[in-house]
Structures are given as structure tokens and as C-alpha cells.
Structure 1
């Protein structure tokens, strides 16, 4: 069914992923009459023209595809910005730079910072809550101060904790296409990256995935308490990759948001 309210959705992937992970949701949103753009962040996805991770010097380089897209929008256009997981940090920084271009920001089982604390505090909380055994066969690269610089998700971790409710073909696709990704902890530790005047002026909705084994529901609820959004929605039975395991349910949530935030 086509919804009468047509909006432009911009979909921002999480750690190690790319635009490809949204393919089921993109199809559903387009069938509902929506405009959709899914993009690859720097050194991510399948774009052969993108830089390699060791060529990404800062989070600004990593964010450049999203910032360029938002800067290119017509002056009067407002978008619905959707960030998944680690992509929550990226849409937050985009909200700070382009608050006037964003109708509503949707955090899908995502990191959602506040404007008071540096975003890095959320990652520190995540690592504090999970022992090294939690990460199974993931591979980390550390700097001289023993801080994680980048990571690659291992196939066992992907199957057990990230894609456990997804179709087998989507799991195999992920094993082929996922890439190493960076943490940018030094950039994320800077004070005043986000302000109440800009980031805080954009309406936010959080979508909880109740069976997520990466960003566990307890942690998602902590993120919500730490930076209360305007609205909270839940997807029952969704693992971390809700756009693949529960695409219809996620699509419905987004279409409801489209109708409410105009």
C-alpha cells in the first residue's frame, strides 16, 4: 500500500557493513511510495571507488559521503535520517551539522549520545559491559596505548550474535561483504561535538530490537535513559540486523514515523 506522505529516507549502516545491508528495507519503502537513499560511509561497503580503511585519517573522512549527500539536498528538503548501531554516532554528527535538513532522526538499536558527554563514553560503556569472551572470533587492532583502532567481525560472532535470526542467504552475504571498520576513539572523545542548540533541536525516535545479542536490550534502554528521545518503538523478535530479520516490521515503524513527523 502506498502512503500518501512521501518522504526521503537516508539509511546509514552500522559497523563493518555498507549500503547493501538495507536491501530488503529499501525495496519495502519504495513499494510504499517512499524515496530512499542508502549509502556507504568511508572505507565501507562495496563501492570500488571508496578509500581503504588505512586511508581514512579521521571521522570526518569516514563521514564525508553522508555530509556530502546532506549538503547537496535542495534548501527546502527535509529528510528522515536513519542510523543503525554504530551509525547512530554518524547520524548524530550529521544532525549537528545539518539540523535544518532533518525532519526526524531514527536510531535503530543504535548508539544515541547526548549533548553533554563526549560520544566515546557510550563505547566505553559498551566495552565495560562485555568481556573479551563476548567478542568470540572478532579481530581487533590496537594502538601503542592499547586502545582499539579497528576491528573485523569473525564469522562465528556474525552467525551467533549479529545475524542469528536472519535467513541463511543473508548471513552468507554478510560473510562475503563485511569489512574491517574503525573506532575513531580520539575524535569521539572531543568535547562539545554535539550541542543542544543543533543536535538537541532535532526530533529523535529510538527503535528497540528486543532480541539483539550485540546491543542488548538492557544497553539500549540505558542509552534511552541517558539521552531521552521524543518517542520509543520496539520490534519484537528482532536481532541486531532488524532490517534483514524483521524488514516488514521495521518498515511499518518507519512509515508510522513518516505520518507522525511532518
Structure 2
């Protein structure tokens, strides 16, 4: 499936792709390439202690610290420029925080099988509901405290079994799985910090138009929980991608890029 570039390259939209836990901006390489080839401007920042960001996790004590590269990107946008924010997995909470702080700079927030906070509960609520629901068998995922006092967020590292069975089960084992495993880093869900944060507000975060993309074959954040989040906090539009595992960024990049390009054109017209 090929994407056609806009006749006027200036008509391309600025799409900001935000990765999930334990990966980095590199995870978007297939999607970013297709969007750029179609004439769109794409940013895929590494969040703190992710990708090629040199900091270890212990130097990122709060979720806002973790999100700072994204917040810096938005703060530096030219006056009047609006972007389409796309958050995958835990990246949904990052883009929700960005919408809370910079609603005037976001044309639409796209949650790609992503944790989507509401404006009634703490940002940790959807994460806690996910863990309580037991829909994910964490298998060989390792959770470890970073300090004896418990002041730092719990570290999380995905093992090879959970990566293959729950995140990339429809991806190429020779290419995508090998690449993903080699570039993954220790991360965190930052639940301890998010639990004590106030809810994002209806006036700011709630003012940004939201789209949710359901990944039908996601074994990590399963379809039922994705739809529960939409029911919990209704959105402007729901889209679906069939045959996409949790890492649709790898397994269905052409379909995902088309979906994001359509959203970008629709919500920035």
C-alpha cells in the first residue's frame, strides 16, 4: 500500500510520534518514513532515558521529567503552529500531559492502543485499572525498585518471552523482533508518581480533540481494555486496524501511516 505525496508539499502536516515504555523514537522508523515520503513533517523524539537519550532511568524521577523532551519540542514550536500528537501505549499519558500544558498547540491527540487518562481521576487511574484487570500475562517482565527508600519509580524490563508473545507476535522474528529486543531499555510506568498527580483538566486536556485507534490483535493492551478506555472517556472518533499486534508500528506500518495521515488532514484542515 503506497501513500501519495500531496501535490503541494507545504500542505503536509506536522505529526509528532510518541513512543511507549522501554523503546524510543526509533520504533517509528517504518511509519515515519512513509509519512515523510507522503510530504508530512514528522518528529519522533526520544523521551528521557529512552532511545539514544544518554540518561539512565534513575536520573528521571518523575513522569514530567520523562516527558520533558516532548514538552520542550512543543514549547519551541513557532507561534500559531499546531501539531497532531500520536501516543502509543504508555505514550498516551505523555501526550495527555502535553495537551494539558499546551492545548493551543495540539490540533488532535491520537491514542494508538494507548493509555488514555480522563479528566476526573489521577493520570495513574487507567494504568491501575489495566494492572488490576489482569488482561496481560507479564510473563518474564522484571519489576525492580531503583532505590531502597522507594523514592524512585519502579523499573520495568520486558523479557524475550513477553516481547514475542504479547507485543510482537505478528512481527518478523528475524527482523522486527531482533531489532526490538536489541534496542529496548529499562523503563518505568511511573505509577507511583502519576498516582499523586491531580487529574488533567477538562478546560485544557479535555478541550483537545481526541481519536483512538484500536489495534484488533493486540495481545498486550487487549481490544476489550482499549474499548473500555474509550467508554470511560469518549473520543471524537474511533478507528480500527485489523491484523495489528501491539507493535503495529512494525507489523502494519503502511496501514498505520495511512490512518495517521488521514487523521492529520482531517483535524488540521
Q: Partner residue of 2:249?
A: 243
Show the counterpart of 1:45: 51
Aligned to 2:229: 223
Return 191-200 or 151-160, whichever deviates more: 191-200
The separation in 2 between residues aligned to 1:56 and 1:204, in whole angstroms, is: 28
Question: Counterpart of 1:116?
Answer: 120
For structure 1, the 5+ residue unaligned runs are: none
SS in 1 for 2:74: helix
Residue in 1 that maps onto 2:195 = 189
- Which of 82, 87, 99 is 1:83 aligned to? 87
User: 1:28 corresponds to which residue?
Assistant: 34
Q: Which residue of 2 aligns with 1:135?
A: 138
- Give the conservation status (yes or no) of the 8 Å contact 1:12–1:84: yes
8 Å contact from structure 2 (residues 18, 88) kept in 1? yes
The equivalent of 2:166 in structure 1 is 161
In structure 2, stretches of 5+ residues that fail to align are none
Q: 1:175 to 1:191 in 2, by over 3 A?
A: closer
Q: Which runs of 4+ in 1 moved over 6 A?
A: none
Matches of 1:102 and 1:171 in 2, distance apart?
A: 33
Alignment length (residue pairs): 258
Which position in structure 2 is the counterpart of 1:149? Answer: 154
Deviation at 1:167, TM superposition (A): 1.7
What SS does the aligned partner of 1:213 have? coil
Equivalent position SS for 2:154: strand
> Residue by residue, what CA displacement relative to the aligned partner does 1:186-208 show, whole Å, maximum 9, x if unpaired?
32113534000000010000000
- Give the alignment partner of residue 74 of structure 2, picking from 70, 73, 78: 70
- Cα distance between partner residues in 1 of 2:102 and 2:38: 27
Counterpart Cα distance in 1 of 2:46 and 2:158: 18
Q: CA deviation at 1:130?
A: 1.6
TM-score by length of 1: 0.94
Q: TM-score, normalised by structure 2?
A: 0.92
Hey, what's the Cα distance between the residues in 2 that align with 1:21 and 1:184? 21
Please give the alpha-carbon distance, in whole angstroms, between the structure 1 residues aligned to 2:190 and 2:261: 33
Q: Is 91-100 or 38-47 further displaced after alignment?
A: 38-47
